Amino acid sequence: MPQLAPRPLPYSDLPGLSARQLAEHYKLYLGYVNKTNEIWDLLQTVDRQSANSTYSPYRELKLEETFALNGVKLHELYFANLGGSGGPPTGEISFFIQRDFGSASSWTTDFRALGLAARGWRILALDINDRTLHNFLLDAHNVGGIQRSVPLLVLDVYEHAYLLDYGTNRAHYLDAFFYNIDWQEVNRRLRPYLRRNTPVATLNEDVLT
């Protein structure tokens, strides 16, 4: 089975997020990469004949695979959608936020509230079935995800993401997150689900594939 390779952190510090905070957070991400690879190695030889839903080594490896691998994927999305200039949504995503939440202000209010309510992650996602945006929360890497939804903007609200800089003041950390959102990255994630060659100026209700 192929092994995961960690992605580099694309910045050393950000406004409101110190180099130490980001470095410690990145170390945690590396741990998820290493543990995912370890689980995959163990799955090569684990006894599948004894598989059992109450307990079995195979069950435990497959369950923890979802935790470790989602930990990798979510952190990669989180780190990649930081490093921008923040501010209100721009580009294609602004149209869909306006359409599905009523206004950028209404979306921001809901996303911030979700950031205080969630225990692990909050995600602005495109639902493939209803073709609308939703704010979803995850209480753990593998608790609360919605199938057939595409994560567009990901925020880590575990304490490890902000404790060194803000203690337990999550609200101030949310301010720093909004200040650093990279809307260009969010739009890159959205574009594969738009009809081809749709300029921003001509977006309408029927542009999602």
Burial (CB count within 10 angstroms: exposed 0-12, middle 13-18, buried 19+), residue 25: buried
Task: Say what the pLDDT of residue 2 is.
Answer: 85
Q: How confident is the model at residue 206 (pLDDT cuts 50, 70, 90)?
A: low
Task: Say what the pLDDT of residue 119 is.
Answer: 96
* Three-state secondary-structure class, residue 46: coil
Task: Say what the pLDDT of residue 135 is.
Answer: 98
Residue-wise pLDDT tens digits, 108-162: 999 999 999 999 999 999 999 999 999 999 999 999 889 999 999 999 999 999 9
Distance from first CA to last CA of the chain, Å, rounded?
Answer: 33
Does residue 205 carry a pLDDT above 80? no
Does residue 202 carry a pLDDT above 70? no
Does residue 46 carry a pLDDT above 60? yes
Task: Say what the pLDDT of residue 128 is.
Answer: 95
Averaged over 55-69, what is the pLDDT? Answer: 97
Structure tokens at 67: 């935790």
Of 20-24, 107-111, 151-155, 196-200, the poorest mean pLDDT is in 196-200
Mean pLDDT across the chain: 95
Q: Hey, what amino acid is at 68?
A: A
